[in-house]
Structure 1
């Protein structure tokens, strides 16, 4: 009774089990040599019925899922085993000690179909019967049937354990696969939030500025509208590359974008002129920090002044607004996860030295 790669018995596993029925040939030959017509016919009929019942019960194994044996399946198995024992008994008068071969099949079937607490005692009883019967019944020879019952039980128990281990392995692999999919979905959702939140905020600010400029400076309004088109194209490109998992952002680029966004929002900004001193491993994290913090400043804070300080192991953004960066959303939690991924920490909250809000990310040197 082999297992497929999915941990389930194969659809045609009964064919494999049928191969082993050739051992019933000894029963058939003994019955054919039986001079009593009644016991010969009864015995041959019971052998055929035994083989069919055995294959039917083997085929039922494929309905067991994840190693769970429902009570209904257990009851049906016991009824089947009782029927097989009755068919075995019908062979005894005609086949003699050859009929003990049937006990091997019954023990093997029990070890696969029944709960182990029920199968093991039954196998012991069958082993004892196969060992004792040749010693107490006149004319019967010890053909090693007890050993066959023992070996058959152990072999099918090993197959059963291998199948259950395979099921557990497949379940663990499926769990890991589901978790990987969930993590990837969370990553894409966080990245899309960061991209669209920033880009749409800048688009909104520039659209408002362009609308005001239309009344007195058409050329500047046209330039703002041109910038809007470029921003929309960039956001679309970022969304596409994020979905493919190949997007990266640039720290110098985010500093430049932050300068443009703050200027469009009429917020005075102090920004670092270069980012050369920041090590490569920290650049993407610091770029995301500047993007998220500046987006929140433009969108929520009502600030008039923003300062961005950059060192090799730290980036800090402070404003003089009303602390709107505390508003709900996924930006800061996502940023915290990114920082913790590099062993760093995020500090976000009201400033202690003055009104306003502070976002600070520190990474161990």
Structure 2
């Protein structure tokens, strides 16, 4: 899955639109919607108490005083609504952020309140909008706050509070960046875990198919041979021998299934050749098989063992062949039959073999022969040798040559 697809899946935006990132905890719990209003009252008390005291000291109530009450307490009420906004759409969060900044600036300008009130908007903003918008809007808000203080003649007395607002906002900015990074790591870990489970399921399905397909096919052929022996000639000793081999195959298959689930089973190319010879003989198919595997590179023998097993299984099941030839090379294996197949039907077996060979940088080709039958070739090319670095002659250190 591509990185942009993962980002869209979890609502993180794409690399080309990184400024559209959601808040860092989008899809998580966010601020507690029940306790936050109580906490917001505690957070706004340092601002509300002096402002309320100043408003209560007014001689008479005028429309202007009422407007100042609305502005002062509007900041506290809007700040208490932060959890409601946290999981809303991006335009809604953007409008709320602009409203909080405008409300804080209005209170500073109209109600003659300490500029520290702007912190409720600038700090909340870093958790609601992408980082680029945070820098832009908070920077504009702080600049406008400085202009308001200059025009009102209060800059000399309150510039320290404005610096405090900027410093705290910057600290919250970096904390928000850290939270976003942690959230992305959590999502990446969840995706890695999901992919690991999917890969393990594919491995088990592929191994069980390769293992049981071959074993059960051989068991079926041998059981059928024992039945035909009993029906035609009544040769009980031979039938008993075939049944003993069936019993041995079932025990071996059960052991291999257990080992496959635990990922301990190793496939041996030489053992697969022996098993293929026995299975083909039971099916009354002539087998032209190599007697040794020494010419095959050791690192490829396990992979070629799987290829041989699946190819022989397909011959026993579908081909109707009378002769099977197996050829081996250092980095390749070929299985050829003279069956009646005129085309290749892709299935789970060929798909699984393709995945195995791709994992080691190899290729699998299955093609129909002109006269009927299939040719399966697996090949793993060797890596290109690196060019040797040119030798350099050491010069004597110091002195004249």
Does the 8 A contact of 1:11 with 1:62 survive in 2? Answer: no
Matched, 1:105 2:126: no
State how far apart, in whole Å, the 2-side matches of 1:242 and 1:194 are: 11
Which ranges of structure 2 fall in alignment gaps of 5 or more residues?
Answer: 1-22, 383-401
Superposition RMSD on alpha carbons, in Å?
Answer: 4.0
Q: What's the counterpart of residue 170 of structure 1?
A: 186
Which ranges of structure 1 fall in alignment gaps of 5 or more residues?
Answer: none
Matched, 1:198 2:222: no
The aligned runs of 1:129-144 (5 Å cut-off) are: 129-137=144-152, 141-144=157-160
Q: What's the counterpart of residue 251 of structure 1?
A: 269
State how far apart, in whole Å, the 1-side matches of 2:58 and 2:323 are: 110
- From 21, 25, 32, the counterpart of 2:43: 21
Q: Structure 1 or 2: larger helix share?
A: 1
Q: What's the counterpart of residue 361 of structure 1?
A: 378
State how far apart, in whole Å, the 2-side matches of 1:201 and 1:325 are: 22
- Alpha carbons of 1:39 and 1:76: their partners in 2 closer, same or farther (altered >3 Å)? farther
- Report the CA distance between 1:281 and its aligned residue: 0.4
Q: What's the counterpart of residue 301 of structure 1?
A: 319
State how far apart, in whole Å, the 1-side matches of 2:342 and 2:247 are: 28
Deviations 1:119-148 (A, max 9, x none): 556534532343234434367823423323
Worse-matched range after superposition: 43-52 or 134-143: 43-52
Does the 8 A contact of 2:116 with 2:162 survive in 1? Answer: no
Does the 8 A contact of 1:293 with 1:325 survive in 2? Answer: no
- Alpha carbons of 1:340 and 1:143: their partners in 2 closer, same or farther (altered >3 Å)? closer
State how far apart, in whole Å, the 2-side matches of 1:360 and 1:291 are: 13
State how far apart, in whole Å, the 2-side matches of 1:9 and 1:301 are: 62
Q: Secondary structure at the match of 1:346?
A: strand
Q: How many residues align?
A: 352
- From 265, 282, 286, the counterpart of 1:264: 282
Does the 8 A contact of 1:313 with 1:362 survive in 2? Answer: yes
State how far apart, in whole Å, the 2-side matches of 1:139 and 1:260 are: 99
- From 143, 162, 171, the counterpart of 1:128: 143
Does the 8 A contact of 2:55 with 2:69 survive in 1? Answer: no
- Alpha carbons of 1:347 and 1:35: their partners in 2 closer, same or farther (altered >3 Å)? closer
- Alpha carbons of 1:60 and 1:161: their partners in 2 closer, same or farther (altered >3 Å)? farther
- Alpha carbons of 1:39 and 1:272: their partners in 2 closer, same or farther (altered >3 Å)? farther
- Report the CA distance between 1:254 and its aligned residue: 0.7
User: TM-score w.r.t. structure 1 length?
Assistant: 0.78
Does the 8 A contact of 2:324 with 2:337 survive in 1? Answer: yes
